[in-house]
């Protein structure tokens, strides 16, 4: 999946599932959209569905530093590249 395809899917999830309005790539998810730890767990489940595999504990721990949609995209790309090697 390309970064643009990932972006479209992630933004769609954030709008449809978490009721974000006009999310920007650099918006702080927590401060700008009220995203909390429960939302983060739900989003990780959606990312697992999107990728077609379960994330390891280490991969889930790496998600703790995510603050923006750009961070989400970087995170997914990192996981995809580490899984393909």
Number of domains in the chain: 1
pLDDT for the residue 1: 83
Average pLDDT for residues 45-65, to the nearest whole number?
A: 94
Q: Is 43's pLDDT higher than 90?
A: yes
CATH of the domain at 57: 1.10.1200.10
Angle, CA of 70, 59 and 54, to the nearest 5°: 105
Please name which of 64, 74, 55 lies closest in space to residue 7, comparing C-alpha atoms: 74
Domain of 26, in residue numbers: 3-84
Q: Is 62's pLDDT higher than 80?
A: yes
Average pLDDT for residues 6-21, to the nearest whole number?
A: 96
């Amino acid at each position: 999946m390309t970064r643009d395809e990932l972006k479209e899917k992630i933004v769609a999830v954030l709008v449809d599932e978490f009721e974000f309005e006009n999310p920007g790539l650099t918006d702080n998810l927590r401060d700008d959209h009220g995203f909390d730890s429960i939302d983060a767990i739900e989003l990780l489940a959606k990312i697992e569905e999107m990728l077609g595999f379960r994330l390891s504990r280490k991969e889930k721990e790496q998600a703790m530093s995510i603050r923006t949609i750009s961070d989400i995209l970087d995170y997914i790309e990192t996981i995809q590249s580490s899984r393909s090697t």
